[in-house]
């Protein structure tokens, strides 16, 4: 028999874990010694092109802290972390840990519980957490610190349920908020204040995408959606944040590369706001525990305006994909049919 737990309480623990992790990321950054190693072989596994897949001491320690804090409260909970296979054996003493928080976002379980004051429960056996302990490692190493985030997503039976996004380096010029959390059906909170976005997309679509080279298919999508204002930014978590906060209309990464831990927290946030997060064919992202499914092999796209998402963004992505599947997409797999909102 698995234990039945309160989801708001779990979210509150995840908020605490994210804040402790952000604090540790900041202190490692301050040492100036990031101890970066290359996880992959220096090439993109899908395209063979040169690509860094870097891991730093901050990625390793952040994951260790998040696992320790959550496992202390929920030893049975299934947590899948990006760095799990290579996680260092750092001893983590939560009580000895100094947490450097801004006065605005002091770790406060009671504040989260007050905001999420609903009796939502689930058995631990139905829950899986996906953790990206430091999203935007390339930006962390290159000093584009506002793009860095800590991502903790909670799925129930493979479907997004809740998410926490922490920003270790809130940059005053770009955005000085540092914490976002959501429980589907309940609300999204930025630095503990509820946000609502009721956004309709104008003729000129403001669309965020990777700082890296855009693929042929991704460029074609922009052509099909013209006029567009392209906002190139690093990190998946930060791009979800830009959509959720209304700074852009949508996020387009219609190619493989991201993993489930890049998507789940942002998916929970955008879904709670009434938006949509799907693959490039309009299918919802399923958060299975099977490692063979961890790649978002048909990409991720997100919009806060759900009707725009299905009538414009998905249609452009699917059309571009069918015109030219592109060398980076899974070989030998047929392109899935376009999923319309009415099919969901």
Selected from 34, 35, 53, 159, the binder of ligand AMP by CB under 6 A is: 53
Q: Which residues are within 8 A (CB) of 261 and not within 5 positions of it... i.e. 6 or more apart?
A: 80, 81, 82, 130, 131, 132, 151, 153, 294
Rounded distance between C-alpha atoms, residue 270 and residue 276, angstroms: 6
φ/ψ of 271, rounded to 5, equals -65, -40
Cβ(164)–Cβ(3) below 8 Å: no
Q: Cite the DSSP H helix spans in the chain.
A: 7-31, 57-73, 109-115, 137-142, 216-224, 236-244, 260-272, 306-308, 314-323
Give the x-and-dash track for 251-270 against Mg ion (CB under 5 A).
-----------x--------
Rounded distance between C-alpha atoms, residue 340 and residue 306, angstroms: 11
Q: Which is nearer to ligand AMP, 181 or 251 (CB)?
A: 251
Selected from 19, 63, 132, 279, the binder of Mg ion by CB under 5 A is: 132
Cβ(74)–Cβ(13) below 8 Å: yes
* Residue 72 to residues 14, 75, 125, 244, Cα–Cα distance (Å): 12, 6, 17, 31
* Residues in 115-154 that interact with ligand AMP by CB under 6 A: 135-136
Cβ(83)–Cβ(55) below 8 Å: yes
* Options 86-94, 162-170, 230-238, 271-279: segment touching ligand AMP (CB under 6 A): 230-238
Give the x-and-dash track for 292-331 against ligand AMP (CB under 6 A).
----------------------------------------
| 234 interface partner picked from Mg ion, ligand AMP, none, CB below 5 to 8 A per type | ligand AMP
* Size of residue set near ligand AMP by CB under 6 A: 15
Selected from 57, 63, 249, 262, the binder of ligand AMP by CB under 6 A is: 262
Query: Coil, strand or helix: which one is 284?
Result: strand
Estimate the crossing angle of helix 314-323 against helix 216-224, to 10 degrees.
130
The DSSP line for 288-343 is -S-GGG-B-TT-EEEESSHHHIIIIIHHHHHHHHHH---TTSPTTPPPPPPPPGGG
Cβ(307)–Cβ(341) below 8 Å: yes
Query: Coil, strand or helix: which one is 139?
Result: helix
| 210 interface partner picked from ligand AMP, Mg ion, none, CB below 5 to 8 A per type | ligand AMP
* Options 12-20, 208-216, 287-295, 317-325: segment touching ligand AMP (CB under 6 A): 208-216
| 257 interface partner picked from Mg ion, ligand AMP, none, CB below 5 to 8 A per type | ligand AMP
Q: Which is nearer to ligand AMP, 147 or 320 (CB)?
A: 147
Q: Which is nearer to ligand AMP, 136 or 163 (CB)?
A: 136
Q: Which is nearer to ligand AMP, 8 or 144 (CB)?
A: 144
* Residues in 175-234 that interact with Mg ion by CB under 5 A: none
Selected from 212, 216, 247, 306, the binder of ligand AMP by CB under 6 A is: 212
39 lies in the binding site for ligand AMP (CB under 6 A): no
Q: Which is nearer to Mg ion, 227 or 291 (CB)?
A: 291
Rounded distance between C-alpha atoms, residue 7 and residue 113, angstroms: 10
Q: Which is nearer to ligand AMP, 56 or 210 (CB)?
A: 210
Selected from 57, 135, 139, 279, the binder of Mg ion by CB under 5 A is: 135
* Interaction site with ligand AMP (CB under 6 A): 44, 51, 53, 135-136, 210-212, 234-236, 253, 257-258, 262
């Amino acid at each position: 028999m698995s234990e039945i737990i309160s989801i708001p309480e779990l979210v509150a623990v995840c908020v605490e874990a994210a804040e402790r992790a952000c604090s540790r990321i900041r202190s490692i950054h301050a040492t100036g010694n990031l101890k970066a190693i290359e996880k992959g072989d220096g090439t993109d596994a899908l395209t063979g092109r040169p690509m860094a897949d870097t891991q730093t001491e901050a990625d390793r320690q952040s994951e260790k802290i998040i696992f320790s804090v959550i496992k202390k409260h929920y030893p049975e909970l299934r947590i899948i972390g990006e760095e799990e296979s290579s996680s260092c054996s750092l001893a983590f003493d939560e009580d000895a840990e100094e947490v450097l928080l801004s006065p605005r976002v002091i770790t406060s379980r009671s504040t989260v519980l007050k905001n999420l004051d609903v009796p939502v429960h689930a058995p631990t056996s139905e829950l899986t957490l996906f953790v990206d302990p430091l999203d935007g490692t390339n930006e962390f190493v290159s000093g584009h610190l506002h793009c860095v985030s800590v991502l903790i997503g909670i799925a129930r039976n493979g479907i997004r349920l809740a998410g926490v996004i922490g920003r270790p380096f809130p940059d005053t010029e770009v955005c000085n908020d540092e914490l976002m959390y959501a429980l589907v059906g309940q609300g999204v909170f930025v630095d503990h204040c509820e946000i609502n976005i009721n956004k309709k997309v104008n003729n000129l679509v403001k669309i965020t995408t990777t700082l890296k080279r855009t693929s042929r298919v991704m460029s074609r999508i922009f052509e099909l959606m013209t006029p567009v204002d392209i906002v190139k930014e690093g990190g998946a978590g930060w791009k979800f944040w830009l959509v959720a906060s209304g700074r852009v209309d949508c996020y387009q990464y219609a190619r493989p590369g991201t993993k489930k831990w890049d998507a789940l927290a942002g998916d929970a946030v955008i879904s709670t706001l009434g938006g949509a997060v799907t693959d490039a064919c309009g299918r919802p992202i399923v958060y299975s525990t099977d490692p063979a499914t961890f790649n978002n092999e048909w990409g991720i796209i997100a919009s806060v305006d759900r009707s725009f998402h299905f009538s414009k963004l998905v249609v452009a992505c699917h059309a571009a994909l069918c015109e030219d599947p592109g060398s980076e997409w899974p070989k030998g797999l047929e392109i899935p049919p376009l999923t319309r909102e009415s099919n969901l």
